[in-house]
Amino acid sequence: MSSDHEAASTDLIARRKRLLGPAYRLFYEQPVQFVRGEGVWLYDPAGNAYLDAYNNVASVGHSHPHVVQAIARQAAVLNTHTRYLHETVLDYAEKLLATFPAEISQIMFTCTGSEANDLALGVTSALAELSPSLGLPMPKDSHARLVPAPRSAGDDTGDIFARHVRGALDDMKKNGIRPAGLLVDTIFSSDGVFADPAGFLRPAVEAMRAAGGLFIADEVQPGFGRTGEQMWGFARHGLIPDLVTMGKPMGNGHPVAGMAARPEVLAEFGARSRYFNTFGGNPVSAAAGIAVLEVIESEGLIENARRTGAYLRGQFQQLQARHPLISEVRGAGLFFGVELRHGGPTGRPAASETAAIVNMLRERQVLISAAGPQANVLKIRPQLVFTTEHADLLAEKLDQVLQALK
């Protein structure tokens, strides 16, 4: 980076802190500014192209023309809310619900995945208690219970996870708490990405339903074809949720989110509550959502996620064979967790090396992030339009960085 660009970046950081306050966070030790995006690429003010292997919000590619045109076309005609009749939101609901099992036949729209999870739970504070990645302490009198995320794939993965859920249910019963539901990110994104073996979630869901609670599938990160087999992450486990929450990739950058549900679940909620979200389900958002679904279908992006994802997994496994720091490669489709440890799968977490790799890749104009409770997992989730050529470039740069750390 030139001295002029460094100075401009420093000024932006200072201005941001002054205007937005201290709670926001920036990626990377040396933050990067972007002014344009196209496909799998982001561009800084100097015109340098960065391979984006992290931002699944623009899942069908940055600035996809079909989505952009749909947004502009609808914005030029009308944008209002759901208290007026409008066909576009109904068209979107029909098209989106067609991707779910028949039992899930109704949907309510929000603007973000967090709002969708709030709606599923009914109270904002409860969601914060169920989100350990926020770093907030669990209140002593909390009605929520956190259970450990699954670990490496094995025949007993589902049984171990279910045992933790049953233990939490027993503790709730002992304290007079009636369980409401099990909320699960179906690929355990922030926990380090745990996708296998397919079906391992079933025993835990059965335990919750036996206790009278619901199964809420959080598809904010794994949904919309990300796992490369079907549209939704829960489908890999052979389950039909009671509620499904969605967000991030729904509008390819436009703020669209929602909660799909079995109608019998919404019937009770609707009988005692009203729901209104000023911007949720507005015509422009609905047009963006329809366009995203059309792109996923017309460009065969679920199959591309499966095919390119399998190729990229192979590239990561080749790197694992050459670099002992890689203890495990996990994931499904175009969503990966590459765990780094000293001394193999049971060795010491390589948290500092993980942070160094993320920042060194950024210097080489490749964007990924880190995850996991010990911050030792490379979190990699490229756009669904990633090709084998992009996969080769990502693997090449990661290889260079791993070599440099030796």
Per-residue pLDDT averaged across 169-194, rounded?
A: 94
Task: Give yes or no for residue 134 having a pLDDT over 60.
Answer: no
Residue 368 has pLDDT above 60, yes or no: yes
Q: How far is CA 358 from the centre of its chain?
A: 18
> Which amino acid belongs to residue 368?
I
Q: What are phi and psi of 367, to 5 degrees?
A: -110, 120
Task: Quote the pLDDT of residue 154.
Answer: 78
Kindly report, residue by residue over 34-65, the tens digit of the pLDDT.
999 999 999 999 999 999 999 999 999 999 99
Say if strands 335-342 and 326-332 run parallel, antiparallel, or are unpaired.
antiparallel
41 and 71 share one domain: no
Question: For the chain, what is the mean pLDDT?
Answer: 92
For 113, the token pair is 């995945």
Answer yes or no: is pLDDT of 232 > 60: yes
Question: In the chain, what's the furthest Cα-to-Cα distance?
Answer: 63
Give the separation between CA 333 and CA 317, rounded to whole angstroms: 15
Helix (H, G, I), strand (E, B) or coil at 340: strand
* Interval 321-344: pLDDT, tens: 999 999 999 999 999 999 999 999
For residue 275, what pLDDT is reported? 86
Say whether 348 sits in a helix, a strand or coil: strand
For residue 137, the enclosing domain spans 65-298
Q: What is the rounded distance in angstroms from the CA atom of residue 340 to the CA atom of residue 349?
A: 6
Q: Is residue 188, in this structure, part of any structural domain at all?
A: yes
Residue 29 pLDDT > 80: yes
Which of these three, 298, 318, 336, is where a domain ends?
298
Identity at 277, one-letter amino acid code: N
Domain check: are 312 and 293 in the same one?
no
Question: Please, which pLDDT band fits residue 274 given cuts at 50, 70 and 90?
Answer: confident
74 and 37 in one domain? Answer: no
Q: Do 257 and 250 touch, CB atoms closer than 8 A?
A: yes
Our count of domains for the chain comes to: 2
Question: Residue 169: its pLDDT value, please?
Answer: 94
The mean pLDDT of 8-13, rounded to a whole number, is 86
| pLDDT value of residue 7 | 74
Residue 289 and residue 354 in one domain = no
Could you tell me if 50 and 104 lie in one domain? no
CA-nearest of 204, 168, 159 to 184 is 204
Return the bridge partners of 245, or none.
218, 259
Specify if 2 maps to a domain: no
Residue 204 has pLDDT above 80, yes or no: yes
* Domain end residue (candidates: 259, 281, 298): 298
Q: Which of 133-137, 142-146, 305-309 has the highest mean pLDDT?
A: 305-309
- Which whole number is the average pLDDT over 150-163? 87
What gap in Å lies between CA 320 and CA 368, rounded to an integer? Answer: 18
Indicate the residue type of 156.
D
pLDDT band at 282 (very low <50, low <70, confident <90, very high): very high
